[in-house]
Amino acid sequence: MDMDRSPPGGSLEQLLRQSGSALTPQRRSILAFLEGNLDHPSAAEIFEAVKDQVQASRATVYNTLSSLENLGLLRSLRSADGTLRYDPNVTPHHHLCCTQCGRLEDVPLDSVTLLHQGRPVQGSVRLEARCSRCKGEAACPS
């Protein structure tokens, strides 16, 4: 099985169907919210976004998120404050963690080369710096 090595070929919903899993209304609205979402929302933010669309308790949303993660459709990562955040982009990439607002920003894999004992290695790193939004805003007040 080299399926998971190929880049995602369709929407999250299609990928879920391909995995043979049931597309419940909860899953559908969570996937729709996360599709193309680059903000790495926390579980609480996802719950706020979908709770009006589906009858889902907080626990259901959280459980759905972890089952989607287990299916490989999402990945979770921790931001600087320890909040668990979800990323629909499961292809390897690095993250820049904003030291000002805590936002996580995607950093393309090939923009950072990791070297270990002089050899390039695979892996993702979390960089800490001000994100592109905060950099822009910080220029104004001073």
Chain contacts with Zn ion (rule: CB under 5 A)? 87, 98, 100-101, 103, 106, 131, 134
Q: What are 59's two structure tokens?
A: 């626990």
What is the three-class DSSP state of 80? coil
Instruction: Quote the least distance from Cβ 55 to Zn ion, whole Å.
Output: 30
Q: 3-class DSSP state for residue 63?
A: helix
Closer residue to Zn ion (CB): 30 or 98: 98
**Whole-number Cα distances in Å, 60 to 39, 50, 115, 128:** 22, 11, 41, 33
| Min dist. Cβ of residue 58 to Zn ion (A) | 24
- CB-based contacts of 112, cutoff 8 Å, min separation 6: 94, 125, 127
CB of 57 to Zn ion, least distance (A): 27
